[in-house]
Structure 1
Amino acid sequence: MSRRRGLSGLTVLLTALAAALLGIGPVTGSADAAAQAPGRITGTVTGPGGVPLEGAFVSAYPVRCPNGCDGYAATSGADGSYELENVAPGAYILLFQKGFDYVAEYYDNVVENENATHVKVTAGSTVTGKDAQLELGGHLTGTVTGRGSRPLKDISVRAYVREGGTWQYVGDDQTASNGDYDIGNGLLGGVYRLCFVDDREPGYVSECYRGAATVQTATNVVMEENETVDGLDVRLAWPVHLRMVEPPKIIGKPRSGALLRLFPGKWAPAKVSVLVYGWYADDLYHYLGSHHPTLRLTGRALDLARGHYVKVRFTVTARGYFTIDRTLTLKGGPVPR
């Protein structure tokens, strides 16, 4: 059986050193030593049908540990058995895990930490029979393609499940060179939603299943216990260019007290989002202190801008279109000193 040691016996080591220095042997039968003697937790981890699971990771964490403390861990052997050694007296939560194919669970057969049955260890005791039977989790699989039905590699496919009124992330996978993905992080049966994200720049337009802009509007994917739901394929679109209807400009004059306003232009389609990175003096290192579409040349902003040209950097975005990234310079010359 493969084992991993728990807390170190630092107190025992210091006691032995002190005894050696004093020229006396170790004290035995002490009530305090007996009260602090470590215990053990043992059990067996099996899979479906009671088949022993080798290599399952078993960990124990103290229920109450206000100042922070170590846990204990072991790996199950070929017969599925495990042993946690040198466990300090107290109450613990046990967690059983086996790769991505099995559903992780807490003792006794629950998947939520707060529902776990606490395991109590007394001084010098061996707590036996803390067994777990892990179930195979479900899988969500499919293929992601792009222009010309070309398989897309390195697309992030993210799975969400509804908890507490919101869609919570539960797992993901990156598409392989053939565009395939397989989310199998020990998923329980339930209702899921998927989103497909290309983090490259420029990259394909991100979307959620099927063709939705957000996870809130995505189509549900229902998965039964230990089921593989395949065929969850998507074809991502390559962005197109926004068409400028009216050019962007800065409205205002480079003088003390002036109110400068960014007009971001007009674009087709008309529904775009504008993000102002900031106003600057001459270059993007002299920040004038505003991420808003307007800037008043007074106070610190005026002091920094004197003798310099005022610039503003902003982006224009719309779903399905390339991002427009522009830096404009205020006409009329530098701000007078």
Structure 2
Amino acid sequence: MPTMNMIQALNSALDVMLERDPDVLLFGEDIGYFGGVFRVTDGLQAKHGKTRCFDTPIAEGGIIGAAIGMGAYGLRPVAEIQFVDYILPAYDQLVSEAARLRYRSGGEFWAPITVRSPYGGGIFGGQTHSQSPEALFAHVVGLKTVIPSNPYDAKGLLISSIEDDDPVIFMEPKRIYNGPFNGRHDEQLKSWAGDPTAEVPEGHYTVPLGKAAIVREGKEATVLAYGTMVHVAKAGIEDSGVDAELIDLRSIVPLDIETITASVARTGRCVILHEATRFAGFGGELSALIQERCFWALKAPIARVAGWDTPYPHAFELDYLPGPGRLAAALLKVMED
């Protein structure tokens, strides 16, 4: 199998689905001739034509609104929002139309759309290009939210998302798009996880939505993470010396609560790691769900390691994002309790 980074794996998934299903089409800002700002759709317009992969105006509400109409008509559109920070003008379309269409129409119409978007840190983009708003989508009944952490999962999860009959928000962690990121992130990410590439099959395969992966087995604590933070967690666990089990959620809606609770019930301790701000972040929901199901098994309070509850700084991104040191400290703290 070829070795791919996440961009190549996502491109392969889109290529496979364009060839496999004539109802699949791609559109978004600069994704056609240019191939996308991160080159995820590079070469797809040349291969599949301008009616299958095409550019749109800078109008996020129009992009998602058009996707919903296409989905109701019977197509399987894959819409790209260039940065997830700019999805808010389309939020009403996602919440009021896409998420509710199946229920409101009594099952007569639905919205089998996939909304791809880069998210999180990695380019020193601050408040306008580096946010992590996954909790906004997880709150909406009817939307699925998927976040891969490696190229193999990225391809399989994207194919599953496109084939799913419900709307999916597919958030791509830009920090690990190309393997280790350039500049200061490059050396830091290498020290955490090596080169985050993987062997990826060239053809069609799926990774099921709603099924977490146990990345590392352990007996003393459970660490929950997704996206780039899976790699941060690997390094933090190693630095701590704690025999911790690491679970990659892969999708936060649907959530594999069975795998999570089975692990926490066995280890008795849990640390949750994500990039988004701690207050009202998805880690709070995870903590509540675990407490409700594993209260009598817990040996220490559930800990959350997250972005700071401040505006996202441009120049001080590495100080804002959780690193292995903060995760290791949290693990050692729960081991003391």
Does the TM-score normalized on the shorter chain lie above 0.5? Answer: no
Computing the radius of gyration from Cα coordinates, the structure with the larger value is 1
Report the TM-score, using the length of structure 2 for normalisation: 0.25
Comparing both chains, which one has the higher relative contact order based on Cα–Cα distances under 8 Å and sequence gaps of 6 or more? 2
Higher helix share: 2
Q: Could you say which structure has the higher strand fraction?
A: 1
Provide TM-score, normalisation by structure 1: 0.25
